[in-house]
Amino acid sequence: MRNHGIGSWPARRARRSPDRVALLHRDRPVTYRELHERVLRAANGLRTLGVRGGDRVAYLGGNHPAFLETLFACGLLGAVFVPLNTRLAGPELAHVLTDSGSSVLVHAPGHAQVVAGLRTGTPVRRFVALEAARPAAGDTGYEELLAAPPEPVDLPVGHQDPCLIMYTSGTTGRPKGAVLTHGNVVWNCMNLLVDLDLGSDGVSLVHAPLFHAAALNLICLPTLLKGGKVLLEDGFDPRRALELIERERVDFVFAVPTMHEATAAAPGWATADLSSLRIVLSGGAPAADRTVRAYLDRGLPFVQGYGMTESSPCATVLEPERAAAKAGSVGAVNFFSDLRVAGPDPAGAAGAADGEQGELLLEGPNVMAGYWGDPDATDAVLSGGWLRTGDVGVRDGDGCVRIVDRLKNMIISGGENIYPAEVENVLHGHPAVAECAVFGVPDPKWGESGHAAVVLRPGARADGPELLEFLRGRLAGYKVPRAVRFLPALPRNALGKLLRHRLAELP
């Protein structure tokens, strides 16, 4: 094969394990042989729409086999796949489509209304409707696209060629498109296969959204590369998650902390048979101590990993055998990557010593090529091959890293540095607190002061003075927030990441 990118994976898998189940979606199995044929049909169908090497093809929809078929089809053609966040509003989607220059949009029926507003003012010229009984005039139905013959496609695609443009979550402004090459994706998967030892008989539960790098590149693609089975869920339901783990003997699951918390709080948690689980991976945000403990107390290997879209996304992961001994750590840097904790001079060669805090810098074949069409933003985070993460961490003597907080989240109050994550972790220990977030507000005396937003557990009661008193004695006085605001829910994006800037904007 001349194609060395991920588009060739279905063909390579089909020749080794054609009858093994690749996907299980809505209880319908798809073998690797079937996946390969559908990808060939999709590639030939996209070619009839004019898609060629370098063209961008966007996808708007939830978890569905068509997401992966379109991704692999683009990889066969040398085109670039652009997954869209389904929670974005029309103007935000228009920005991403325009910024990426996407010429084709594959979309699910639930997004027909927002798609109607994208038919003008964007570079999209062809629309492909998924599962639509009657596509809009001029649109192509997805199954119609797959009516193309499964003719072999073998174009030269290398590891250096762009594979994906994954737009950052945009928690502080307009999202930027991280360009991930085929090599970035391949080496990210290799890191996971080496460090977590995934098996070809593995069963992975994918219920986080595939349009985020974590669900796609941390669990789905490594499982398919290894030849395992992916349980592809339309969305997250904690009760169904417990049922699937028990019925399908799931051994690998990834979720963000809010999803793990919901699963541990779901009816049936205490009695569900979870003995098949070998890896319970958490990422996207730091997990509270109580969440980690809920899984460890059940004897489950709860491991945290760290990364970002720009690193494809994995940078570190905790080995399951050290889940209890290193609880709260995100583990050591991945096998094919390198990590440095920056010292006082980030540009200097000398890094911080073990136990000293500093910004995390990453290097390796999984680090993005840059931001799409934005050389200034690229230069701001990439220097000499090292990626400035914007995250503050500390490494222990065993090489394991603990994330302190985002550098931009740090509150400077009276010259003292306050990391919200530290305060939040303590506040989570109050029995009435379901969720919390600490953020900085301008203060005429101290420059900034910390405030806390709190969501109470159903039926629980607590007031601000009680919660602040709970923190005193557990934290230094300057770290205790000045005030508490109670909210029905914290603002989050589709992957559960906190939109902290919205808290600071509240009146």
- For residue range 77-89, what is the model confidence (pLDDT) as tens digits? 999 999 998 988 8
pLDDT above 60 (res 346): no
The pLDDT mean for the chain works out to 93
Q: Identify whether 45 is part of a domain.
A: yes
Higher model confidence: residue 174 or residue 488? 488
CATH of the domain at 483: 3.30.300.30
Out of 403, 423, 445, pick the residue that ends a domain. Answer: 403
Domain count, the chain: 3
**Res 88: pLDDT:** 84
The reply to whether 143 and 206 lie within a common domain is no
Statement to judge: residues 97 and 69 lie in one domain: yes
> Is pLDDT above 60 for 58?
yes
Residues 399 and 418 in one domain: no
Q: Residue 347: its pLDDT value, please?
A: 54
At 506, is the pLDDT very low, low, confident or very high (cuts 50, 70, 90)?
Answer: confident
The set of residues, in sequence order, having a beta carbon less than 8 Å from that of 27 and lying 6+ positions away, is: none
Given this model, what pLDDT does residue 495 score? 65
pLDDT at 365: 98
Position 472 scores a pLDDT of 92
Whether residue 422 sits in one domain with residue 399: no
Which residue, 387, 403, 419, sits at the end of a domain?
403
Q: Is the model's pTM score more than 0.95?
A: no
Answer yes or no: do 297 and 415 share one domain: no
- Assess if residue 44 is contained within a domain: yes
**pLDDT tops 90 at residue 173:** no
Q: Tell me whether residue 169 is in a domain.
A: no
Q: What's the angle, vertex CA 8, arms to CA 210 and CA 3, rounded to 5?
A: 125
Window from 33-42, 303-312, 408-417 with minimum mean pLDDT: 408-417
Residue 168 lies in a domain: no
CA dihedral 104, 108, 113, 116 (to 10 degrees): 20
Do 305 and 433 lie in a common domain? no
**417 lies in the same domain as 399:** no
Please tell me the distance from the alpha carbon of residue 274 to that of residue 292, in angstroms, as a whole number. Answer: 16
Largest CA distance in the chain: 71
pLDDT band at 299; cut points 50, 70, 90: very high
Considering the domain architecture, whether residues 48 and 134 belong to the same structural domain is answered as: yes
Q: Give yes or no for residue 349 having a pLDDT over 70.
A: no
pLDDT score at 412: 82
pLDDT of residue 273: 98
**What SS3 state is found at 282?**
strand
Q: What percent of the chain has pLDDT over 70?
A: 97
- pLDDT of 348 above 70: no
**Can you give the three-state secondary structure of 219-276, one letter per residue?**
HHHHHHHHCCEEEECCCCCHHHHHHHHHHHCCCEEEECHHHHHHHHHCCCCCCCCCCC
Q: Residue 413: what pLDDT?
A: 87
Domain match, 219 and 321 both? yes
Of 202, 242, 244, residue with least CA distance to 219: 202
User: pLDDT tens digits for 402-433?
Assistant: 988 888 888 988 777 788 988 999 999 999 99
Residue 278 lies in a domain: yes
Mean pLDDT of 474-492: 92
- The pLDDT, as a whole number, for residue 169 is 65
Q: Which pLDDT score, from 0 to 100, does residue 234 have? A: 96
- Residue showing tokens 């805090």: 357
Q: What's the pLDDT at 350?
A: 62
Which residue, 377, 403, 429, sits at the end of a domain? 403
User: Is 172 contained in some domain?
Assistant: no
Mark residue 211 as left, alpha or beta (left: phi above 0; alpha: psi -120 to 50; beta: remaining): alpha
Pair 202, 344 in one domain: yes
> For residue 444, what are the domain limits?
410-505
The confidence score (pLDDT) of residue 343 equals 76
182-199 average pLDDT score: 96
Higher pLDDT, 462 or 172: 462
Check which CATH number belongs to the domain holding 224 and give it.
3.40.50.12780
pLDDT at residue 419, rounded to an integer: 84
CA distances from 438 to 149, 159, 502 (A): 56, 42, 12
Q: Is residue 164 part of a domain?
A: no
| Residue 261 φ/ψ, nearest 5 degrees | -65, -45
For the cut 70, the answer to whether the pLDDT of residue 306 exceeds it is: yes
Res. 469: pLDDT tops 80:
yes
Q: Give dist(CA 388, CA 406) in Å, integer.
A: 12
Do 252 and 365 lie in a common domain?
yes
pLDDT at position 64: 98
Does residue 90 share a domain with residue 208? no
